[in-house]
Structure 1
Amino acid sequence: MTSKALFLDRDGVINVDHGYASRPQQIDFIEDIFPLCKWFQQQGYLIIVVTNQSGIGRGYYTEDDFLQLSDWMKAEFAQRGIKIAEFFFCPHHPEKAKGKYLKVCSCRKPNPGMLEQAKQKYDIDMAKSVMIGDNKTDMLAATRAGVTKRYLYSSDHIPDDTNIGYKRVDSLTRIYPM
């Protein structure tokens, strides 16, 4: 039996992007993220986070710091009755990382690696899934992974010059019926 998923970028979609967040004190949740996730969960979607985390590769924080923050975020969602299935993350950067993290990889968005990992692990039907991101790299990764419903969450007018097709929304409430 296949599942459907709501794929979410983290910084800029779940929480305000303050840059390289690694502690709960640095997290300000985006307005309406909880009702959005609750609605999708009620519709049978798995909630999966796919996030580039080059701050690990740059040495700003450790993988353990990231995992602890992710567990804290899962708990915050769970307190509101929402289950995040998993956080998939890419710690690499092709130019600005250090050591083992300095590399070109298949998981860093716009590559589809994280979404493909989730697809394999959870038997996800990508054509029935949804991606919400705040960057064109999120939209490209989703397209390459076969996700057909894509939303670019941004208050800025960002023209779709990628020719891949996505809908730009300036409020998460525009994605689901309230």
Structure 2
Amino acid sequence: MSPIKLVILDRDGTINEDSDDFIKSADEWKPLPGALEAIARLNHAGWHTVVVSNQSGLGRGLFEVSDLNAIHTKMHQMLAAVGGRMDAVFYCPHAPADACHCRKPATALFEQIADRYGLDLKNVPVVGDSARDVIAGVAVGCEPHLVLTGKGAVYKGRALPEAFPLHTQVHEDLSAFVDFLLSREEALA
């Protein structure tokens, strides 16, 4: 039996619109154009998808776990409506001052994914809109991909700063990343 095909996705700014004021409710959660359909395309091609997200709004007292659950329920429902699914959501509930081991760019959430799926994460694509998203993934062997949505939009038309891991691949958005991944998979078949 071959190992599962897995993609690790950041949430805010990668799948949905980001906000400097945090996404605190299901009403505030709005998918980026084409993002849910891109995840569904991955799923239909046999890929499993998981979210890894810093949710420091919990640690800051800006919203409750029940609000986060409602956000993720909305995400799951909207994905299902376009024929997609998210296999799991891993999140860090801590504020930056908590100095935890799960807040990206720390790696504990990625280690949880490896444990849950019984996988070595070497070369598993990690997709995010910031350096900390890809740094965390690279630390456990993931292949780094930056999308130019959310916080990544500031890098449009610019070279990535040295903070990014070498070989970080840049894509216009999540849909463009999926185009790249599925084309590469087809070329290798």
- TM-score normalised to structure 2 length: 0.82
Q: Secondary structure at the match of 1:14?
A: coil
**Structure 1 partner of 2:69:** 67
Q: Is the 8 A contact 1:38 1:81 kept in 2?
A: yes
Determine what percentage of the aligned residue pairs are the same residue.
26
Q: Is the 8 A contact 1:127 1:147 kept in 2?
A: yes
Q: Which has the higher helix share?
A: 2
**Structure 2 partner of 1:87:** 89
Distance 1:174 1:73, change over 3 A: closer
**Structure 1 partner of 2:112:** 117
Summarize the alignment of residues 46-61 of structure 1 with structure 2, pairs less than 5 Å apart. Answer: 46-61=48-63
Moved over 4 A (4+): none
Q: Shift in Å at residue 53 of structure 1?
A: 0.3
Q: Shift in Å at residue 85 of structure 1?
A: 0.8
Q: Secondary structure at the match of 2:74?
A: helix
Q: Is the 8 A contact 1:6 1:46 kept in 2?
A: yes
**Structure 2 partner of 1:98:** none
Q: Secondary structure at the match of 1:82?
A: coil
Write the distance in 2 (CA, Å) between the matches of 1:142 and 1:174.
20
Stretches of structure 1 lacking an aligned partner (at least 5 in a row): 96-102
**Structure 1 partner of 2:154:** 156
**In structure 1, what residue type is equivalent to 2:154?**
D
Q: Shift in Å at residue 128 of structure 1?
A: 4.2
Q: 1:143 aligns with which of 127, 138, 143?
A: 138
Q: Shift in Å at residue 130 of structure 1?
A: 1.2
Distance 1:124 1:38, change over 3 A: farther
Write the distance in 2 (CA, Å) between the matches of 1:65 and 1:133.
23
- TM-score normalised to structure 1 length: 0.87
7-16 or 62-71, which moves further after superposition? 62-71
Stretches of structure 2 lacking an aligned partner (at least 5 in a row): 183-189
Q: Shift in Å at residue 93 of structure 1?
A: 2.0
Write the distance in 2 (CA, Å) between the matches of 1:163 and 1:64.
34
Q: Shift in Å at residue 163 of structure 1?
A: 5.7
